[in-house]
Structure 1
């Protein structure tokens, strides 16, 4: 019976390995719950005290010096005590636990020890936050959730766009009603254009006017020409269209004032003007000049118009989505002023630390470091601002050229007219329309 039992055991082991591999491939969440979570939980509970001691996360109630006779003896603190932790709670992508800090402890050392915890627990990543005083929340992700982001569901609301997946496994949603203006940065082939394409595809079925400004000859936004109310391919055209939009928001202000409303969303549905989303691809093309008087005048007009739209547009249904490879103060003070109006920030892989700092530095220094660590292989991965003031790693869903064309064609009949914008685009040389 010995050889028979051995053969049966080997066959059972082989079957478990094959089944486990198939489960991991097809249902990674269930594989994590059934195998990864129990093993990692044991590893966390067994190693916590030692990891805390090695990384200076412990305290001691014994003094580090004593008087022995006439001598004062000093040494390392004895009997170190690690702070208490809660039992690890499973999440679809990993686990989380709460640390109760001892009096005098701060979250700083725990944040610095994130890499040590990641290696000790053999997980993909560890993030440490402090949701309330006296506690630290440690969130571990078992695998990279952005490696194969799945399609999630998002609220079907006006000006909401499902553009990808968050590192937490949830949907990555750009909600222009909640955060009205966005700045998107990224180097060539980092995923910036894919994100813009995905955003337009999500907004195309909605009753919104889409205005594209693509001074690279319309190579990117030209794919959506059938669905765009207006598309500008030069700075002169951009000046005319942006000026017309400034006139548009002035008209909307007068309508709101006459109705006693503070925004267009307080107007009756029948009197409410259609929201407008202005998408600028490559911001630097609007600010860089060739040194001529006309070039400088156009750049100043673009800067002024964009700033006015950013300051006044949120309540009047005019939203900005501004993208660029290089965004820095060297483009002029107008860029810095405009950035202050763009509360939503998305930073892909960038070629210089200044752009990452310009995008995320005024919000969170940790986010800048994470954005700079994105590699060229992580296409579509970005660091984005969260809805509650934090930040997340995220990845946009791929939108192919063919999909972009089909979407624009399918919803071409929903393209609204903006008379002032259309007139300005037909006669861009007519001067300042504002």
Structure 2
């Protein structure tokens, strides 16, 4: 009888191994929920008290001082109580559990213990957030959610809304200009910044809007999408004229809204609503750096003034900015710092200097700066962004080659609107 049971157990184990391998290859989501999640949840529950004690997450209600005769003795209180945890809720490639803090506790020690929790639960990473007072939420991921990406195709891309990648939470990474009108993107060479811009152009190309580009590297990057661009400036002189035309258009749109009693173009009737414009600016530093001559300084100041006006007034009037650069620092001038304050969306890829990461994320969250600086050279396309409602999150853009973005520009070239105010004069620039 024992031999029969042993043989049956071996057969069941072999069957589970074969089925598990097939399930992992064909339906990795099912494999996680049926095998991975129960194991990680069990580790989280059964190791919680021990991990809490070793990482100073437990609290004792007994005093740390005792009086022995005439001597006061201070020591570590025994029988510390770990904070109470909720049921580990399954998530895609991970789990989430809520911890109720003891009176007087703060989330700080939990942030410090994130690595210890990841090792104890054998998780790829653990993230700690405090959505409300008195509790923290621990999210553990079993594998790197940004490792292999494929477009989900499940996001409905409305006007001024583009799916550009995936968040580490498992959700789609969507840039929504209606929710966040202006964006700042920073990243060193080969960090994935150009790939993100190419993906953004490819997703915006089919939409009924105007794409305008400023590429002071002679148009080497954004010039690939000329067929879909309504205007392209390849030098600072051309950029000044283009920005000036956009500022003039802002005033005209203000007049239309005021005459119609509307506070934005989205309150106008369809026949009066002007075409939305997305302005892509690559290598912001080239607009601010000067050789010291009076003419160059005047151009740089004019660019700074125009960009700031577009950022301050453009959201309600359908003109949106995407400003990108390898290095963006306060040393470029006070205009850059003022412009940053108007760019609510932030995306920071791998950067070569801490000042750029600080400029992109420092005024929002110091933890995000540290995470951005930890992005490895091999993690091309990985960035820290504010696109998530929880504050900041790691994300990765979908691989999009310049050829794919150029093909999308050619395919949707007929969608390019002709706007008279974007026709640059004969002194420079390209007429559309």
TM-score (norm 1): 0.94
Could you tell me how far apart the structure 1 residues matched to 2:422 and 2:311 are? 18
Residue matched to 1:73: 73
Could you tell me how far apart the structure 1 residues matched to 2:259 and 2:357 are? 43
Residue matched to 1:192: 193
- Note if contact 1:93-1:168 (Cα within 8 Å) is conserved in structure 2: no
Residue matched to 1:129: 129
For the residue of structure 1 that corresponds to 2:255, the secondary structure is helix
- Note if contact 1:383-1:393 (Cα within 8 Å) is conserved in structure 2: yes
RMSD of the TM alignment (CA)?
1.9
- Note if contact 2:196-2:397 (Cα within 8 Å) is conserved in structure 1: yes
Unpaired stretches in structure 1, ≥5 consecutive residues: 430-434
Superposed, 1:103-142 pairs within 5 Å as 103-142=103-142
Could you tell me how far apart the structure 2 residues matched to 1:74 and 1:212 are? 67
Residue matched to 1:102: 102
Cα 1:373–1:44 shift into 2, 3 Å: same
For the residue of structure 1 that corresponds to 2:21, the secondary structure is helix
User: Is 2:32 the partner of 1:56?
Assistant: no
TM-score (norm 2): 0.95
Residue matched to 2:276: 275
Could you tell me how far apart the structure 1 residues matched to 2:354 and 2:73 are? 49
How far did residue 156 of structure 1 move?
Answer: 2.6
CA-to-partner distance for each residue in 1:362-419, whole Å, 9 max, x for gaps? 0000100110010011110000003536011100011122211211111101101121
Unpaired stretches in structure 2, ≥5 consecutive residues: none
How far did residue 36 of structure 1 move?
Answer: 1.0
Could you tell me how far apart the structure 1 residues matched to 2:72 and 2:404 are? 77
Could you tell me how far apart the structure 2 residues matched to 1:408 and 1:399 are? 13
The more displaced of 44-53 and 289-298 is 289-298
- Note if contact 2:128-2:136 (Cα within 8 Å) is conserved in structure 1: yes
- Note if contact 1:100-1:136 (Cα within 8 Å) is conserved in structure 2: yes
Could you tell me how far apart the structure 2 residues matched to 1:261 and 1:241 are? 26
How far did residue 62 of structure 1 move?
Answer: 1.9
Could you tell me how far apart the structure 2 residues matched to 1:5 and 1:174 are? 58
Residue matched to 2:246: 245
How far did residue 75 of structure 1 move?
Answer: 2.1
Cα 1:389–1:333 shift into 2, 3 Å: farther
Cα 1:387–1:3 shift into 2, 3 Å: closer
- Note if contact 1:64-1:78 (Cα within 8 Å) is conserved in structure 2: no
For the residue of structure 1 that corresponds to 2:251, the secondary structure is helix
How far did residue 65 of structure 1 move?
Answer: 2.5
Residue matched to 1:322: 323
Residue matched to 1:146: 146
How far did residue 69 of structure 1 move?
Answer: 3.8
The more displaced of 392-401 and 174-183 is 392-401
Cα 1:350–1:412 shift into 2, 3 Å: same
Residue matched to 2:261: 260
Could you tell me how far apart the structure 2 residues matched to 1:7 and 1:63 are? 58
Residue matched to 1:413: 414
Could you tell me how far apart the structure 2 residues matched to 1:72 and 1:330 are? 57
Residue matched to 1:166: 167
Residue matched to 1:432: none
Cα 1:2–1:134 shift into 2, 3 Å: closer
Residue matched to 2:307: 306
Residue matched to 1:290: 291
Could you tell me how far apart the structure 2 residues matched to 1:389 and 1:56 are? 26
- Note if contact 1:88-1:95 (Cα within 8 Å) is conserved in structure 2: yes
Cα 1:332–1:73 shift into 2, 3 Å: closer
For the residue of structure 2 that corresponds to 1:47, the secondary structure is helix
Residue matched to 2:233: 232
